[in-house]
Structure 1
Amino acid sequence: NDKQKECEDCHVLQESLLSSASGYSNYRGILNWCVVMLVLSNARLFLENIIKYGILVDPIQVVSLFLKDPYSWPSACLIIASNVFILAALYTERRLAVGTISKMTGLILHIFNLTSLLIFPSATVLTLTSMTPVGGVLSLGVYTVLFLKLYSYQDTNRWCREIRQAKAKKLTRSYSCPSVAQSNGSAVHTYVSYPGNLTHRDMYYFVFAPTLCYQLNFPRSPRIRKRFLIRRLFEMVRGNWMVPTIQNSMKPFQVPNHLIWLIFFYWFFHSSMNFVAELLQFGDREFYKDWWNSETVTYFWANWNIPVHKWCLRHFYKPMLKKGINKFLAQTAVFLMSAFFHEYLVSVPLKMFRLWAFMGMMAQVPLAWFVGRFLNGNYGNAAVWISLIIGQPVAVLMYVHDYYVIHYGGTT
């Protein structure tokens, strides 16, 4: 028997583990090695950064981006004023729920409120000389998010009213479902039915929640994880270590814009939104998908910003399809709306209208058709990356050039 075991074959037909044909995919040890090497190699750079540059977040420099006069806070006041539009949407829905105003009157009030939500801040930014471009972008960004949220709010509540009317029976309220007259609702995790959702607490939870689509009962996480919060907070403030590298790369005028965009994506969609979601125990954390693997332009725009994609799909794209509009026209309309808001968020704070952002977004329509028709696989993914690396910096440079010519061209 021992002789027989010694004569047994010890070789079989098989591939090396690192060969693609092996099917092996567990590289956790190599990933850990990369993390260890990254930490060790950057520890010295981190210490040199602190010694040479110190703490790079200069409070005075940061405040100067938002304020021209330390005694004038136009951006903060404008954001606080947005509560008027929030409460207007809530009280309109309350009146619709109890039937004190007609459906048409409620529709007119919502249209007026949503239109004012875009016109009022833009008019304020354009007329106030004390408003800085950064403060204007922040204010208009908040109002744009509120516009999308309140549109979803009235849309969802309208669907609830239609369902209730279709059932043709009164809503039976449970102990956990407060009445419309109550102002603050009950426990956070209780199940809410319409119109028990029309409370201040429900409205402001939705306003601060990292989503644009309203629903009566959001998925909730069971508890707040403190370690998770600390990690996300650390990621949010870690960006100041990257400032010297980015500034140095801008001196020979390389193209740091794309790198800044990637850093912003991680900071906002992963760190910041997860931080807010954890604080509010908001359960749906799918803020992005694998857009970096996009083989088509359409896939990229559908997966890099999931909150906006969900809103467009739920409140804009699908309603158009239900009305008989074909998919291409519906997709074009989505890009058209996105182009408007991109231009709105850039031209108004800069107080100059060049339409570079608008044209850049509309150029995505033929680009999406071309990439989807003639390229696929790695070629399609490369085309998407090229459009991101070249397209966005070109648009930014156009605005920087025009802004410099308008404000500083006469002094040189």
Structure 2
Amino acid sequence: MPRPAASHNRTGQPRGSKGSANPPRQPQRSKYRHVFATHAVQRDSCLSPDAQATPSFVGFRNLMVLVLIFSNLRLMIENFRKYGVLICFHCHDYRRQDVIYGFLLYFLVPCHLFAAFIIELAAAQQAKSALGRMKKASGADTCKKQEEARKSFNSTWRIIAFFHAINATFNLAIATYVVYYHIHHPGIGTLCELHAVIVWLKVCSYALTNRDLRHALLHPNPAQPLPSLYKSCPYPQNISWANLCYFWWAPTLVYQPVYPRTPSIRWTFVLRHLVEVTGLSIVIWIASAQYAAPLLQNSLSNLLVLDFVSILERIMKLSTISLFCWLCGFFALFQSFLNALAEVTRFADREFYGEWWNVSSIRTYWTTWNKPVTNFMRRHVYSPLVGRGCPPAAAQIIVFLLSGVLHELLVGVPTHNIIGVAFAGMMVQIPLIALTDRLQMMRGVRGKVAGNVIFWISFCLVGQPLAALLYFFAWQAKYGSVSREWQERGMKGGLGELLRRR
């Protein structure tokens, strides 16, 4: 076959020959360089509502973080130059009596949960005997025996409910009395009152749940079966010390005979979360002693003369530190402590909160930020009321009334000033819920943005700092300064004398 002819370049030399030199390419020249179409299609500004794609705000997020860091650093420097170091490890204002009563309440309050177990144990024995009588009935006597068993169950439940009510009421009443009259330190009192409220809620859930389980045992309804999860521990097998003790320590306020469990305990997971709890507790203590205490102390003179402009300025200034302490406390309790407790108890359902920071309505916030309380209120208060014909709006108001009473107990009793601010704050949530629900009907994202802004304003700028200021003022008006050091400084500056005269 003939060999193909070698290809040549434009100069006539074969391609690839060593002697060839490719000349540089000449740039393409255009006669119309200044007239190409810059604006050829329809486009919108990236921040416009008509933009096809939502822009990223990562840069603004970084800017806000930097602004937050540097503004707080400035406040820290200003605070240090003005007051010095106010943190004192040896200065404390709790008495030995506070510690003794605190430990007594810690060990005695759970006894009411065991009293509820004794009541349910007697009720279980009565239910088993009633079930035995119903099984022995036959023929024409069956309907009569079942009717007698039903009447016996109803009368027995009234007696059991009476004893449960007495037990739960004494639990909360005794703890409240001891905290209000015998525990002076508000921190110790808050822990004791919180413990009593938690046990009270657990006692109520334990009684109400076992009541329905007992009713399902005596009057089974195939149309409304019990959850399949309960089959591994049916009533009355769940009435045992082991079952009760697990519910006592489980990170939930809702009683179930059986809970989803994890296969094992990760002790490194527990240790890490306990370190977080310890670190955040120290941070909250430092922030409260170094920043919140002097700010609250300096606000008293404005409250005494009702200088509303200065009060508003103090509330806005206090909002930063109160929000910081609240967020640290939220993370320490709901993320760190409850997850550590859930890991130790192998409690698998760990949805203790939702994405409450993104909510666009006050209603969503109250149903997502504290899931244990939300689950209790929905299961034992709201749903039974609606199931019995109560309008949902009225049931919601009843839930907030109960929540307002509990909030006032948790704040007013430890500070020895039941002034109704916490209760009123919960009642104000009802019109805010109606307002933000209406905003949800707006088209686009404007309604959601407005709802989220209303939430943050009511949460940060009005709710928490105003409540903290009012309760602190009531405490000062009743007892004087919380800290010994601040009491001495207030006396020297004339503020203590003014409070004493008042």
Q: TM-score, normalised by structure 1?
A: 0.77
The equivalent of 2:179 in structure 1 is 125
The equivalent of 1:290 in structure 2 is 355
Question: What letter corresponds to residue 454 of structure 2 in structure 1?
Answer: A
Does structure 2 conserve the Cα–Cα contact (< 8 Å) formed by 1:75 and 1:131? no
Of all paired residues, the percent bearing the same amino acid is: 30
**Does the residue aligned with 1:359 lie in a helix, a strand or coil?**
helix
**For residues 22-171 of structure 1, what are the structure 2 equivalents within 5 Å?**
64=92, 67-69=94-96, 73-99=100-126, 102-128=156-182, 130-167=183-220
Does structure 1 conserve the Cα–Cα contact (< 8 Å) formed by 2:98 and 2:185? no
Kindly indicate whether residue 425 of structure 2 is the aligned counterpart of residue 360 of structure 1: yes
The equivalent of 2:450 in structure 1 is 379
Match of 1:398 among 459, 470, 473: 470
Q: For 2:279 and 2:243, how far apart are their aligned partners in 1? A: 33
Kindly indicate whether residue 372 of structure 2 is the aligned counterpart of residue 307 of structure 1: yes
Does structure 1 conserve the Cα–Cα contact (< 8 Å) formed by 2:260 and 2:349? yes
1:343-393 Cα shifts (integer Å, max 9, x gaps): 111222222221111111101111111222246211110110111102111
Structure 1 segments unaligned to the other structure (5+ residues):
1-12, 46-51, 169-188
1:131 to partner: Cα distance: 4.2
Q: 1:242 and 1:211, CA in 2 relative to 1: closer, same or farther beyond 3 A?
A: closer
Question: After the TM superposition, which of the residue ranges 235-244 and 309-318 deviates more from structure 2?
Answer: 235-244
Q: For 1:346 and 1:290, how far apart are their aligned partners in 2? A: 26
Kindly indicate whether residue 256 of structure 2 is the aligned counterpart of residue 229 of structure 1: no
Q: For 1:357 and 1:154, how far apart are their aligned partners in 2? A: 28
1:60 to partner: Cα distance: 5.6
Match of 2:401 among 336, 343, 346: 336
Aligned length in residues: 353
Does structure 2 conserve the Cα–Cα contact (< 8 Å) formed by 1:74 and 1:131? no
Q: For 1:346 and 1:354, how far apart are their aligned partners in 2? A: 10
Q: For 1:105 and 1:204, how far apart are their aligned partners in 2? A: 25
1:119 to partner: Cα distance: 1.1
Does structure 2 conserve the Cα–Cα contact (< 8 Å) formed by 1:92 and 1:110? yes
Structure 2 segments unaligned to the other structure (5+ residues):
1-40, 74-79, 81-85, 130-152, 222-229, 296-313, 441-446, 481-498
**Does the residue aligned with 1:73 lie in a helix, a strand or coil?**
helix
Does structure 1 conserve the Cα–Cα contact (< 8 Å) formed by 2:382 and 2:399? yes
Q: For 2:257 and 2:398, how far apart are their aligned partners in 1? A: 28
Kindly indicate whether residue 459 of structure 2 is the aligned counterpart of residue 388 of structure 1: yes
Kindly indicate whether residue 259 of structure 2 is the aligned counterpart of residue 218 of structure 1: yes
1:138-164 Cα shifts (integer Å, max 9, x gaps): 111111001111111011111111110
The equivalent of 1:184 in structure 2 is none
1:282-301 Cα shifts (integer Å, max 9, x gaps): 11100000111110000000
Q: For 2:396 and 2:219, how far apart are their aligned partners in 1? A: 31
1:118 to partner: Cα distance: 1.5
1:241 to partner: Cα distance: 4.6
Which has the bigger relative contact order, CA under 8 A and spacing at least 6? 2
**Does the residue aligned with 2:246 lie in a helix, a strand or coil?**
helix
Q: For 1:352 and 1:305, how far apart are their aligned partners in 2? A: 25
The equivalent of 1:208 in structure 2 is 249
Q: For 1:231 and 1:360, how far apart are their aligned partners in 2? A: 35
The equivalent of 1:49 in structure 2 is none
Question: What letter corresponds to residue 79 of structure 1 in structure 2?
Answer: Y
Q: TM-score, normalised by structure 2?
A: 0.64
Q: 1:262 and 1:146, CA in 2 relative to 1: closer, same or farther beyond 3 A?
A: same
1:43-91 Cα shifts (integer Å, max 9, x gaps): xx9xxxxxx9xxx998766xx56x4027960011012112331121001
1:249 to partner: Cα distance: 4.2
Q: For 1:110 and 1:243, how far apart are their aligned partners in 2? A: 38
Does structure 1 conserve the Cα–Cα contact (< 8 Å) formed by 2:253 and 2:373? yes
Question: What letter corresponds to residue 452 of structure 2 in structure 1?
Answer: N
Q: For 2:394 and 2:116, how far apart are their aligned partners in 1? A: 31
Question: What letter corresponds to residue 96 of structure 2 in structure 1?
Answer: D
Give the superposed CA RMSD: 3.3
Q: 1:58 and 1:94, CA in 2 relative to 1: closer, same or farther beyond 3 A?
A: farther
Q: For 1:277 and 1:377, how far apart are their aligned partners in 2? A: 34
1:228-280 Cα shifts (integer Å, max 9, x gaps): 21221221122225655665544466321121111111110100100111111
**For residues 179-190 of structure 1, what are the structure 2 equivalents within 5 Å?**
none
